[in-house]
Amino acid sequence: MKELLIVAGGGTGGHVLAGVAVADAWRKRQGSAGEVIFVGAQGGIEEKLVPRAGYPLRLLRLGSLNRVSLLTRLRTLCLLPIALLKSAAILLKERPRAVLGVGGYASGPLLLMARVLSVLRLIDARTAILEQNSVPGLTNRILGRLVDRVFCAFPGMEGRFPGKRVIVTGNPVRAAIRPLPAAARAPFTVFVFGGSQGALGINNLVLEALPLFAELKDQLRFIHQTGERDYERVLDGHRQAGISSRVEKFIHDMPAAYAEASLVICRAGSSTLSEIAAVGRAALLIPFPFASDNHQEKNARILAERGAAMLLVQDKATGLDLARIIRRLLQNPADLAKMEAAVKEFYRPDAAQDVVSGFLT
């Protein structure tokens, strides 16, 4: 008899990769009976990442409701009944043991129908969401009232989901992301990435900072994931600066890039923070300023207040600010070492297994 888990959601690499980590743990726990299917949105990054991880993917046609035009909202509302019907069809055909929403619009219709069909006793599936951030997003705020369990990355989230069984697991990371040896100091390698789509704001700050390192060219090296749309501009900026750089649109082998990094410059989504904690790297966090409820800055402040990372607010920062921080850390390796030690305290190596156990107990 198959033991099927359906993972619903996507939209960002962080959502998808946390789902992949849980999927791997589910198959390991359930042995030969363990199966996993992902359900995502057409056009989302899950179309690339899920097949690459070796899991089947079903797709729903969905739009968006947050920070979009009225026309897009109306189109989304028109697509919703179709997505609900397709979700019901998937659930009735596959009859999962468990359904996990990892965030993103695809998790809404699938989890809602899983709950309805379970109440009607048409399927027998436990439902849960994984809240990866310190502030729940819109979809999870709604679903949190309906599901059987809520798994959280950050402690203190119990009050956000009253009346529900809340389990603080930490945020699951891929099996490939694991503790690394101490970071190299020479050359001082700065690994820059802004998530799976890149980050224009971070790219701009780095390009402003690069000309300010003229006398440090022999000591510095950059690894820079730019995103598809900003690749040529960022590549040209690195070439003009004359600093040793590896510039790519997307980096698939993140563990190798982390291994080379002396300092990471990145956003502050929960999955990113969990990976930094796992690999034990010092980081300068530049939160996405338009994240819902400003949750990325709130995530980042939790680490910064514990000395586990540094925080730079994008709208208030300049390339000069960034250059000063990089220069100071290059010249003061003891500060890097303190951050590396502090961030490791946030690593929860059993997070994915704890999510699976929470489903089965």
Under the banding of pLDDT at 50, 70 and 90, the label for residue 167 is: very high
Strand pairing partners for 5?
A: 36, 98
**Per-residue confidence (pLDDT) for residue 68, from 0 to 100:** 57
**Residue position matching structure tokens 């003891």:** 334
**Per-residue confidence (pLDDT) for residue 67, from 0 to 100:** 59
Which tens digit of pLDDT belongs to each residue from 175-189? 889 999 999 999 999
Distances from the Cα of 29 to the Cαs of 124, 177, 254, in angstroms?
A: 20, 19, 26
Under the banding of pLDDT at 50, 70 and 90, the label for residue 76 is: low
The 10 Å CB-count burial string (b at 16+, else e) for 11-30 is bbbbbbbbbbbbbbbbbebb
Q: Which of 319, 283, 271 is nearest to 192 (CA)?
A: 283
**Per-residue confidence (pLDDT) for residue 65, from 0 to 100:** 59
Q: Which of 116, 61, 88 is nearest to 6 (CA)?
A: 88
**Per-residue confidence (pLDDT) for residue 198, from 0 to 100:** 62
Read off the pLDDT of each residue in 218-229 and give the average, rounded to a whole number: 95
**Per-residue confidence (pLDDT) for residue 273, from 0 to 100:** 96
Q: CA–CA separation, 110 vs 284, rounded Å? A: 36
Which is it for strands 149-152 and 34-41: parallel, antiparallel or unpaired? unpaired
DSSP assignments along 272-294, one per residue = HHHHHHHHT--EEE---TTSGGG
Read off the pLDDT of each residue in 112-131 and give the average, rounded to a whole number: 96
Query: Is residue 339 scored above 70 in pLDDT?
Result: yes
Query: Is residue 348 scored above 80 in pLDDT?
Result: yes
Which tens digit of pLDDT belongs to each residue from 182-213? 999 999 999 999 876 668 999 999 999 999 99
**Per-residue confidence (pLDDT) for residue 107, from 0 to 100:** 92
The 10 Å CB-count burial string (b at 16+, else e) for 107-139 is bbbbbbbbbbbbeeeebebbbbbbbbbbbbbeb
Angle formed by the axes of helices 200-209 and 231-241, nearest 10°? 10
Domains of the chain: 3-168 (3.40.50.2000), 188-346 (3.40.50.2000)
Which tens digit of pLDDT belongs to each residue from 243-288? 999 999 999 899 999 999 999 999 999 999 999 999 999 999 999 9
Choice among 54-63, 192-201, 329-338 with the minimum mean pLDDT: 192-201
**Per-residue confidence (pLDDT) for residue 105, from 0 to 100:** 82
The dihedral over CA atoms of 184, 185, 186, 189, expressed in degrees to the nearest 10, equals 80
Phi and psi torsions of 263, nearest 5°? -145, 140
**pTM of the entire structure?**
0.87
What DSSP character marks residue 317?
Answer: -
DSSP assignments along 60-116, one per residue = E-----SS--HHHHHHHHHHHHHHHHHHHHHHHHH--SEEEE-SSTTHHHHHHHHHH
Q: How many CB atoms lie within 10 A of CB 242?
A: 12
